[in-house]
């Protein structure tokens, strides 16, 4: 098919149209073409801009959304690279920055970064327990144990994280990490730093948490929350939840799951395994995290750095939009939020906390 622009040039030459008039006609054709292409983009094409997931809308109830510019950090910690995973101790937070191969301690008293641990591509979460910081490494493909105050490496354990977006948990006198995409949950004895059990899981289950005397693992492939009994080292049940579940938090007697597929949050009873609520948050997509503290559940994704859920009503009560986000914790009386693409961590006092 002949280009409309070539056709216009032919008309100009044939009828000797003024150059300015021809230019105006060309501009109008360009605008019409762009509008036509925008209208023609299918819904699936728009979804691909969010990694193939539905568009992030957040919660559209009036008065819920606020710009991040409304919040003013009490402290801002510069952290080189892409600060991501957070781990809480009694006087600090640790933050991992995989692309620059280190984990940094953020002092909660001085509001300054201090100790730096060199780790090859720290990933798959941070856990604090038994006086140590537990750091999965996607670079050396093992699990590092470091002193939670000094950062001195205490042990190297042959347990490679199965997925960079996985997790690590402390509970039942053990450390828990998924080491194979096919589903292998390992149980590590912190006294010997040895693997003492391997528990088969459904394929695509990566993120564990301890709650209600059980280990719970989200099955990203199976749209379920898998329950493991630490007394038998066997799967004890499975609860169907939202689409593509990933990150977990424990609080108010429940396990809270951020579902990447539809941007909802599932609430599961940590004693019975019953699905108690599915909370629409409008924050689908890769990345993100969820945490509990200060009487609320907090979720983060790019574009919507903070979403606050009230456990009493199972509803989103506040949501902040803009830059920042990807890992979140409530600790030391504050909300801590990484700004992964901004090389910093914010310490925030959020209204109502």
DSSP letters along 68-82, please? GGG---SEEEE-SS-
The rounded percent of the chain whose pLDDT value lies above 70 is: 86
Q: Which residues contact 198 (CB under 8 A, 6 or more apart)?
A: 184, 185, 186, 187
Q: Which of 229, 164, 153 is nearest to 193 (CA)?
A: 153
| Residue whose tokens read 């579902």 | 259
Q: What's the pLDDT at 306?
A: 98
Torsion of CA 148, 208, 253, 238, to 10 degrees: -170
pLDDT at 44: 27
- Could you give the CA distance from residue 260 to residue 219 in angstroms, rounded to a whole number? 12
Grouping H, G, I as helix, E, B as strand and the rest as coil, residue 99 is helix
Looking at residue 72, what is its pLDDT?
Answer: 95
Q: What is the DSSP letter of 292?
A: E
Query: pLDDT tens for residues 276-287?
Result: 999 999 999 999
How far is the C-alpha of 101 from the C-alpha of 227, rounded, in Å? 33
Mean pLDDT for 70-98 is 97
- Measured between alpha carbons, how far is 353 from 347 in angstroms, rounded to an integer? 13
Using pLDDT thresholds of 50, 70 and 90, give the confidence band for residue 49.
low
Q: Give 3-state DSSP helix, strand, coil % of the chain, rounded to 5.
A: 15, 50, 40
User: What pLDDT is stored for residue 46 in this prediction?
Assistant: 28
């Amino acid at each position: 098919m002949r280009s409309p622009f070539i056709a216009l040039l032919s008309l100009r030459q044939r009828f000797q149209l003024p150059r300015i008039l021809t230019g105006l006609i060309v501009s109008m054709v360009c605008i019409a073409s762009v509008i036509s292409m925008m209208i023609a983009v299918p819904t699936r094409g728009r979804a691909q801009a969010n990694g193939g997931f539905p568009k992030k809308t957040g919660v559209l109830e009036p008065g819920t959304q606020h710009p991040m510019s409304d919040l003013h950090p009490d402290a801002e910690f510069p952290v080189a690279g892409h600060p991501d995973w957070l781990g809480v101790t009694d006087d600090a937070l640790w933050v991992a920055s995989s692309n620059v191969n280190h984990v940094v301690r953020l002092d909660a008293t001085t509001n300054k970064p201090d100790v730096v641990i060199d780790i090859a591509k720290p990933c798959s979460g941070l856990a604090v327990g038994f006086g140590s910081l537990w750091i999965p490494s996607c670079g050396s493909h093992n699990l590092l144990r470091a002193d939670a105050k000094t950062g001195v490496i205490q042990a190297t354990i042959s347990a490679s994280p199965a997925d960079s977006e996985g997790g690590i948990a402390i509970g039942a006198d053990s450390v828990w990490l998924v080491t194979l995409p096919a589903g292998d949950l390992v149980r590590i004895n912190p006294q010997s730093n040895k693997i003492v059990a391997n528990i088969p899981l459904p394929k695509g289950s990566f993120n564990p948490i301890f709650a209600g005397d059980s280990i719970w693992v989200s099955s990203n492939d199976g749209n379920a929350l898998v329950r493991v009994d630490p007394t038998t080292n066997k799967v004890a049940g499975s609860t169907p939840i939202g689409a593509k579940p990933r990150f977990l938090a424990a609080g108010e007697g429940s396990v809270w799951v951020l579902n990447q597929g539809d941007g909802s949050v599932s609430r599961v009873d940590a004693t019975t395994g019953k699905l108690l609520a599915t909370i629409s948050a409008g924050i689908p997509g890769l990345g993100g995290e969820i945490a509990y503290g200060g009487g609320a559940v907090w979720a983060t994704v790019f574009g919507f750095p903070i979403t606050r859920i009230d456990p009493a009503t199972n509803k989103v009560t506040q949501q902040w939009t803009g830059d920042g986000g990807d890992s979140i914790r409530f600790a030391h009386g504050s909300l801590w939020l990484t700004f992964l693409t901004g090389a910093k961590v914010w310490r925030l006092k959020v209204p109502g906390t």
